Amino acid sequence: MLLSTTNLTVGYGAVEAVRGIDIDVAEGEIVALLGANGAGKSSTLNALVGLTSIQAGEVTFDGMVTNNLSPEQLVRRGLTLTPEGRRVFAALTVEENLILGGYTLGTRSTAFTDNLSHLLDLFPILKDRRQQLAGTLSGGQQQQLAIARAMMSSPKLLLLDEPSLGLAPQIVEKIFELIDDLRAAGTTILLVEQNVALSLDIADRGYLMASGRIVTTGSGAELASSNIIEQAYLGAGEGA
């Protein structure tokens, strides 16, 4: 397994957002982490990259326990996150955002130059707007930039938090195609999404979370055909 968690528990003060979950992600997979708002998906991702501290349990990434590593250390080991809401550096240009994405490689390395030219070819819109401030891009363009920025570090595992949030349907489909392309090119992906149908379309496997726990797991097709997901979303709606 590239990534596995055992009894992962994450909380903010007295509130436990994630209550002892076990997740596995194997190399080359797209794994979807689904669930209603407040189910604990983003908290899980934030804990995996070291932005939120882990209260209990263990995270193993690439053969090493990473519980106490900082985001700075984890990105150097090949784990990175595209955060919810894109969070591109609005006051910086598109190119500067990409430079920061490849910061750990060193801007003079060949890996950096190769990644930059490869990603600019993959995202023509970013090439066209290279010198434009990221804050002036549209939502879909910002999402492409956020993903490209994360890919600049050549991650082994890319965590994507709600890449389709707030985007127009046609753009959402493009983003999902892109995620599928990234996997085809060898990147393993753990995807947190609201858009269940599209996620299960591209995912090899999925986990369904509710109230901080894993409710069910299965292949993308299995989950898509069962009605448990629908129930989980409705159930959470009732509780809230």
And the tokens for 45?
């991702």
Q: Looking at residues 179 to 238 of the shown chain, list those that interact with another protein (rule: CB under 8 A).
A: none
Hey, which residues between 147 and 166 contact another protein (CB under 8 A)? 149-150, 153
For residues 213 and 10, the answer to whether their CB atoms sit within 8 Å is no
Q: Is 63 left (phi over 0), alpha (psi -120 to 50) or beta?
A: left
Part of the chain binding another protein (CB under 8 A), chosen from 33-41, 146-154, 185-193, 219-227: 146-154
**Contact pick of 1, 99, 165, 202 for another protein (by CB under 8 A):** 99
Kindly state the smallest distance separating residue 130's Cβ from another protein, in Å: 14
Among 81, 158, 167, 192, binds another protein (CB under 8 A): 81
CB of 97 to another protein, least distance (A): 8
Binds another protein by CB under 8 A, chosen from 4, 60, 67, 71: 71
Interacting positions 10-49 with another protein (CB under 8 A) = 49
CA angle 191–197–200, rounded 5-degree value: 50
Cα radius of gyration rounded to whole Å, the chain: 17
Provide, rounded to whole angstroms, the least separation between the CB of residue 233 and another protein.
29
How is residue 168 annotated by DSSP?
-
Q: Which stretch binds another protein (CB under 8 A): 75-83, 162-170, 193-201, 220-228?
A: 75-83
Q: Which residues contact 134 (CB under 8 A, 6 or more apart)?
A: 88, 89, 90, 91, 92, 93, 94, 96, 97, 142, 145
Q: How far is the CB of 3 from another protein (least distance, A)?
A: 16
Please tell me whether residue 124 binds another protein under the rule CB under 8 A: no
Ramachandran quadrant class, 158 (left: phi over 0; alpha: psi -120 to 50; beta: rest): beta
Question: Phi and psi for 36 in degrees, rounded to 5?
Answer: -75, 170
Q: Does 51 bind another protein (CB under 8 A)?
A: yes
Phi, psi of 81 (to 5 degrees): -125, 135
Decide whether 99 or 122 has the Cβ nearer to another protein.
99
Size of the site for another protein (CB under 8 A): 26
| Residue 103 interacts with another protein (CB under 8 A): yes or no | yes
Instruction: For residue 190, give the DSSP letter.
Output: E
111 binds another protein (CB under 8 A): no
Of 60, 76, 125, 222, the one binding another protein by CB under 8 A: 76
Q: Which of 67, 59, 71, 69 is closest to 3 using CA atoms?
A: 59
Place of tokens 């519980």: 67
User: In the complex, which residues of this chain contact another protein (CB under 8 A)?
Assistant: 49, 51, 70-72, 75-76, 80-81, 83, 87, 89-92, 96, 99-101, 103-104, 107, 135, 149-150, 153
